[in-house]
Amino acid sequence: MKRIFIILLIISSSIVNSQSIKSPDGKLALTFNLTDEGIPTYQLTYGKYKVIKESRLGLMLKDMYEKTGVDKFSQSTNQVPSLDRGFTITKIDTASVEETWNPVWGEVKTIRNNYKELSVTLSQPSVNNRQMTIRFRLFNDGLGFRYEFPMQDNLNYFTVADELTQFSLTGDHVAFWIPGDYDTNEYYYSKSPLSKIDATYSRNVNEIFSKTLIGKNFVQSPLMMKSSEGLYINIFEAALVDYPAMHLEVDQSNFVLTSHLVPDAVGNKAYMQTPCKTPWRTVIVSDKATDILASKTILNLNEPSKIDDTSWIKPMKYIGIWWEMHVGTASWNYADVNNVSLSLTDWKSLKPNGIHGATTERTKRYIDFAAQHGFDGVLVEGWNVGWEDWFGKWKEEVFDFVTPYPDFDVEEISRYASSKGVKMIMHHETSSSVTNYERRMDEAYEFMKKYGYPAVKTGYVARIIPRGEFHDGQWMVQHYVRVAERLAKNKLMLNAHEAVRPTGLHRTYPNWLACESARGNEFNAWSVGNPPEHETILPFTRLMGGPMDYTPGIFQIKMSYYNPDKKEQVHTTLSKQLALYVTMYSPLQMAADYPENYERFMDAFQFIKDVAVDWDDTKYIEAEPGDYVTVARKTKGKNEWFIGAITDESERTAIIPLSFLDSDRKYTAEIYADAKDAHWEKNPMAYEITSKSVSSKDVLKIKLAPGGGCAVRIW
């Protein structure tokens, strides 16, 4: 009798406590396990390689309130039992999904969503059988998992003190990282083994206006890594809503990454109410770097569009009154005075500084240029009152988003733009006074509709108000989504700068065309800039979550052109600036330089005029993070392809088999390449344009200069 009992126990514990699934193609395997102490863990393998060793799951709680009866666990006693141990499994569900869907806009016309799912419902017998479900989805290229908290009597409101999710790696992988920071992602990347990460250099970075460094061994996600066996591993999250962003603490001896959530003003991480769930944690893995770039797992883990009628959502190519402020030949502010209050009623009483960028006349010049060259939109920054005193003061009332400066005639501009078939793009720099923006946004969106602005670029420079909140905390994460939702209600589109980095939410809110949320081209105008490898890393990190408004297309590479004292420069060749329109995927692309500079190089400018912003297909041809990226994309609805190839500071030859072309016809290829002696530093503006007839059997071999690139149009 006793023997039988023991055998039964072994069988039931081996069935119940360890559960495995394989990816649809069988290559990835996920194992969930509950330890003897009832601690949930998981591990992941890719073929014969271990990717994630047995790693812990769970959450630490602070306050907790039961749904019925009196709150047993009084606030801040730290007595609250956490969701970290003492679990038993109460239910196992598996599922298998294979479907396709069509994004409103994107890199490809149709996306395949194919995964195996395992969901494990756990209960804590010692805490009134409190329940939590961990849902795993295993795709051919990676894993997503999240915590779900069903509605239940014994868990209603709770405060997350910490998330315990770990990613235990097999070795000292090479990582492409930026410092863990609650307020900014505008760093350039470092490449080092995990053991050598030292984020404290961030203290000497002066060009970022609001920084909150976490500590030496903290980095941001997405974290891109390469193992000594040649595996590419990307750790990130998907569908970040109503929860703080996940950074990673690196155990530099054991190579364990632990999730580190951005806190709020009083140090808590997240406020939850059942039923609720966390964002997905993702591990994307392949032995081919190009597979990481082609992965659709982050998008697939997001909810389908919440917007039913998407007919008004349109990808856009735009120009704007913008680079000239970054270079310094024009200003956002109208007058050179300090301490002007928003309550000033007569802005005309201020003496104009003579270099204000957003004048009616200059805007019309841009509208004409856009109309002449087929651009959809014109962005104008510095059009509204408040820029005299806009940042660094942690001031509540800065902008009202509806009062133009005296020299910006919004009526006339709106009329003129519409007569030329050009759309205006609104700019709302919130100066991070987010409470102020929330109070004024309805009126601001009415103003946009009245004057025919279909899209807005928002901005969050400087420290956040509510004071004490961070850019990437739960409160701000909710704010960014609230803005996207409110804009959608008004049929308006969004491009958010300095917001939390995207996590695929553009599937759910396709009016959210792009974010900046990383170090954009603008840094090249006024700081040490972006090293030549920067754009070869971004697709593996920042762009994993969604399009970036990188603002490429700077032709005048050295800023000494404007002022001999200026040492700054763009760290690429001119030809690489063209390639970025293809390598940096975005449905919103700016031609960022002055019209006057494009007029100097009309032959090269032709590529920017021609390049598409929406695609039927994408082929990642060759890539290595930190070294190079080559990609080909097929224009939506046309038999036309664009290729972009970029390299870091080393020269290389891009090898591009054209096998993606139709085999039964000839095409013309127009090639915009670096000239023989081009070099990002020594000779950045030397390019050559050639044209030839090609077919699907051809292989293009194009030399890229140090810091260079090439752009090709095939039709």
Q: Which residues are catalytic?
A: 522
The answer to whether residue 593 forms part of the interface with ligand NOJ (CB under 6 A) is no
Under the binding rule (CB under 6 A), the answer on residue 674 touching ligand NOJ is no
Rank residues 52 and 538 by Cβ distance to ligand NOJ and give the closer one.
538
Query: How far does Cα 587 stand from its chain's mean position?
Result: 13
461 scored as a contact of ligand NOJ (CB under 6 A): yes
Nearer to Ca ion, 56 or 428 (CB): 428
Minimal distance, residue 621 CB to ligand NOJ, in Å? 31
Residues near Ca ion (CB under 5 A), total = 1
Report the residue number, 497 or 633, with the smaller CB distance to ligand NOJ. Answer: 497
* Among 41-49, 153-161, 515-523, 645-653, the segment contacting ligand NOJ (CB under 6 A): 515-523
Which two structure tokens, joined as six digits, stand for 672?
Answer: 């915009």
Distance of closest approach, residue 523 Cβ to Ca ion, in angstroms: 8
Residues in a beta bridge with 698 = none
**Residue 381 in contact with ligand NOJ, rule: CB under 6 A:** yes
Whole-angstrom Cα distance, residue 463 to residue 459? 12
Q: Within a 10 A sphere around the Cβ of 642, how many other Cβ atoms?
A: 23
C-alpha separations of 485 from 280, 494, 548, 565 in Å = 21, 10, 19, 45
Q: d(Cα 401, Cα 444) in Å, to the nearest integer?
A: 6
**Nearest to Ca ion of 73, 318 (CB atom):** 318
Question: Minimum CB separation from ligand NOJ for residue 461, in Å?
Answer: 5
Q: Which residues pair with 145 in a beta bridge?
A: 136, 281
Q: Residue 494 in contact with residue 458, Cβ under 8 Å?
A: yes
Per CB under 5 A, which of residues 373..412 are in contact with Ca ion? none
**Residue 480 CA from chain centroid, whole number:** 13
Task: Identify whether 193 is preceded by a cis peptide bond (ω within 30 of 0).
Answer: no
Q: Is 358 within 8 Å of 321 (Cβ atoms)?
A: yes
Choose between 84 and 388: whose C-beta lies nearer to ligand NOJ. 388
Contact between 386 and ligand NOJ by CB under 6 A: the answer reads: no
**Sign of torsion over alpha carbons 203, 538, 237, 502:** positive
Find the Cα–Cα–Cα–Cα dihedral 538, 543, 545, 546, rounded to 10°: 150
Give one word for 133, left, alpha or beta, with left for phi > 0 and alpha for psi -120 to 50.
beta
Among 53, 226, 497, 501, contact with ligand NOJ (rule: CB under 6 A):
497
DSSP state letters, 49-89: EEEEEEEE--EEEEEEE-SSSS-SB-TT-S-PPPBTSS-EE
Which H or E run includes 105?
A: none
Which residues, numbered 472-511, are part of the site for Ca ion (CB under 5 A)?
497
Q: Provide the minimum distance between the beta carbon of 326 and ligand NOJ in the complex, in angstroms, as a whole number.
A: 7
497 secondary structure, DSSP code:
S
Q: Is 233:284 a contact under the CB 8 Å cutoff?
A: yes
In the complex with ligand NOJ, which residue's Cβ is closer, 493 or 678?
A: 493
Map the footprint of ligand NOJ across residues 463-492, applying CB under 6 A: none
Rounded least distance, CB 145 to ligand NOJ, Å: 33
Residue 459 sits in the site that holds ligand NOJ (CB under 6 A): yes
- Tokens encoding 70: 């009196």
Binding partner selected for residue 545 from Ca ion, ligand NOJ, none, CB under the kind-specific 5 to 8 Å limit:
none
Q: Minimum distance from CB of 247 to ligand NOJ (Å)? A: 21
Alpha-carbon distance 322 to 250, whole Å? 39
Task: By CB under 6 A, name the one of 516, 535, 568, 648 that touches ligand NOJ.
Answer: 516
Q: Are 433 and 460 in contact (CB under 8 A)?
A: no
Nearer to ligand NOJ, 238 or 499 (CB): 499
Closest CA to 385 of 341, 351, 426: 341
d(CA 702, CA 532): 18
Subset of residues 520 to 549 that bind ligand NOJ, contact rule: CB under 6 A: 520, 522
**Considering beta carbons, is residue 455 or 671 the nearer one to ligand NOJ?**
455
**Residue 429 contacts ligand NOJ per CB under 6 A:** yes
Judged by CB, which is closer to ligand NOJ: 162, or 516? 516
Nearest to ligand NOJ of 87, 447 (CB atom): 447
Nearer to ligand NOJ, 342 or 461 (CB): 461
Distance CA 426, CA 133 (A): 43
Task: Output the 3-class SS for 265-326.
Answer: CCCCCEEEECCEECCEEEEEEECCHHHHHHCCHHHHCCCCCCCCCCCCCCCEEEEEECHHHH
> Where are the strands (E) in 140-290, listed by range?
142-149, 157-163, 166-168, 174-177, 190-193, 218-220, 223-226, 232-238, 246-251, 256-261, 270-273, 276-277, 280-286
Write out the binding residues for Ca ion, residues 231-290 only, by CB under 5 A. Answer: none
Cα separation of 154 and 148, whole Å?
15
> What number of chain residues touch ligand NOJ (CB under 6 A)?
9
528 binds, among ligand NOJ, Ca ion, none (CB under 5 to 8 A by kind): none
Task: Pick out residues in 78-107 that bind Ca ion (CB under 5 A).
Answer: none
How far is it, in rounded angstroms, from Cα 71 to Cα 73? 6
Tell me how far, at minimum, the Cβ of 42 lies from ligand NOJ, in Å. 38
| Residues at the interface with ligand NOJ (CB under 6 A) | 322, 381, 429, 459, 461, 497, 516, 520, 522
| Residues at the interface with Ca ion (CB under 5 A) | 497
